[in-house]
A and B are shown apart, each in its own frame.
Chain A
Amino acid sequence: MARLLYIELIKTFLKKRTFIGFAIVAVIVPLIEIAMKLEGGRFLQATTRSLQQDFFLVGNLFNAWLVSYNMMNSLWVHIPLLISFVAGDMLAGEATAGTYRLILIRPVSRTRILLAKYAATVFYTILFVFFLGALSIGLALPLLGRGDLIVFQHGILILPESDVAWRFLVAYLLAAWMMLTIASLAFFFSSFVENAIGPIVGTMGVLIVSFVIMSIPVELFESMRPYLFMYYTNIWQKVFHDPVPWETLWKDAAVLGAYSLAFLGAAWGIFVRKDILS
């Protein structure tokens, strides 16, 4: 199995497509952070000025942690798109290239090939989210300085700096877990089409429809929300609550995991039966 995973990683990481996501993040993140730096606290000052009068706030609230926190909030559309680029190509790319005919005639079960491909997808997704995290924090710290983290969720919460780093670590883990569900969806779409456009469009379509359902305040839709995996997009934000609602967090993470497994299972069901006609 290690051998199969190794060749899947080679195939994935020698492909240009894989680096599109990394390249875009490597441009966007510095761009946003430099813009933040130049525009400076103005963005925050508007919101904090009134607070500053009511509370006794010290130090630099417009800092690396806040910018990184907001970064995660604002990229929820872009990251799934970039991830579906790679995950959606995992299987469909072999159909497009005609290379299914090369690999699926070997004496290895399709199940093992599928699992190796899924493992490569997991690896890519985690690497990508942590690349985003490391770049975002790593660049922001020297650029914008440190300080306490102010978060606006159900009111205002100020987390002392000493209490922040581990929350980011867990948050990125949860974000990766969430993105894995999206990657699994793209992987599933990838199992029954012949090129990667379908999975990318399909994944984005599901995202958009989910968000429409979630944002229209109709009772029917509201009752559907807990069943949509996109409902848990912001799962990582809960790490910045105080105290952290661990119980809900685990439950949400379990739902996401179940979705990922279901998508993988569906992809498997299709892949092992599939007639290779490409």
Chain B
Amino acid sequence: MSSDVILQTSNLGKHFKRRWAVRHLDLEIHRGDVFGFLGPNGAGKSTTIRMLLSLIRPTEGDVFLFGHSLRTQRQLALKSVGGIVEKPDFYLYLTAYRNLEVVGALNGGTTKRRIFEVLDLVGLGQRAYDKVKTYSHGMKQRLGIAQALLSDPELVVLDEPTSGLDPQGMKEIRDLILHLSRAQKKTILLSSHLLHEVELVATRMAIINKGELVTQGEVKKLLDEGEKYVLLSGEPKKKLELLLRTQRCVQKVEEQTDGFRLAMEFSDIPQLTRTLVRNNIAVHAIIPRRSLEDYFLSLTENDGKL
């Protein structure tokens, strides 16, 4: 394996009672990636992350972190990894500071200075000596990230870090992830059930469904591959169709129940909009879509039970 691959799973699988939660999973994360690990609810993201962090033992396959097997060299493998799995849980009766002290001791020791560094980074410096009991969900989520960063690891694993947050909270976490990646040069594994979220921050991604890998690669490439089209609806319909068929930037027009499906470049959308408005068309909606998005939506709409 190349020295730039810092996390690799080979044929990773976990069998629960009667079914495989994850199977035949081969992931590869390179140094510097923000790796989006995408899948609908129940796809096996958390199960995979539990295996990556040694909380559960794979039924088959193995995980290699920095070239060390998790089965045979667990402590070495986990040395430069920090993470948070599922919801952020802490010792509620202890202060945030004490919680980080506990984690720090397990890292082989930490300092007051480092604890405040990570708390300040996530905006909790002022609340260091409050019991975690008094924290909101969003604050716990941020404390979860602080905890993951405490040992200054190279790889940070975050399992749905924006789940349960309001849009403002989600944006804060996104910005934090981008900061960690760009300013602190961390490699980040980020799981999510929202394609849009992964698209905003990730450089590479993998899609998992029903425990199996669907695809893996650069986010840009995966999104650009396959078909791109625009959904458009407006009034009056007849005039609109006529107009669309005469535009050079529109390669194909297909009528659908609530509008038209156009084959065209996304970069031509502003120009088309101007033309339509100038011709007194009332545009109701104009939505750029990609087949990957459709595909992923079909997974989530069926709740992963395709």
Chain A positions near chain B (C-beta within 8 angstroms): 3-4, 6-7, 10-11, 14-16, 97-109, 113, 273, 275-277
Contacts and interface: CB of A to CB of B under 8 A. Distances in A.
Interface in B107-123: 107-109
B147 A106 contact: no
B74 interface: yes
12 contacts: A10-B102, A14-B93, A99-B90, A99-B91, A101-B84, A101-B86, A104-B54, A107-B107, A109-B75, A275-B56, A275-B57, A276-B56
Nearest to B82: A105
A273 B107 CA distance: 21
**Residue of B55, B74, B92 with most chain A CB atoms under a 10 A cut-off:** B55
Contact of B89 (A14, A101, A106, A109): A101
Given A101-B85, A101-B89, A275-B55, A107 B103 contact: no
Interface in B71-112: 74-79, 81, 83-87, 89-94, 98-99, 101-103, 105-109
Contacts of A105: 53-55, 78, 81, 83, 85
Given A105-B55, A273-B57, A276-B56, A99 B106 contact: no
A153 to B, nearest CB: 45
Given A105-B54, A275-B56, A276-B50, A4 B106 contact: yes
A15 B107 CA distance: 23
B55 A102 contact: no
Interface of B: 50, 53-57, 74-79, 81, 83-87, 89-94, 98-99, 101-103, 105-109, 147
Given A97-B92, A273-B57, A276-B50, A106 B107 contact: yes
B210 to A, nearest CB: 19
Contact of A97 (B54, B84, B89): B89
A16 to B, nearest CB: 7
B55 A100 contact: yes
Q: Choose among B84, B91, B103 the residue with the greatest number of A CB atoms under 10 Å from its CB.
A: B91
Given A11-B94, A275-B55, A103 B75 contact: no
B102 A109 contact: no
A3 B108 CA distance: 8
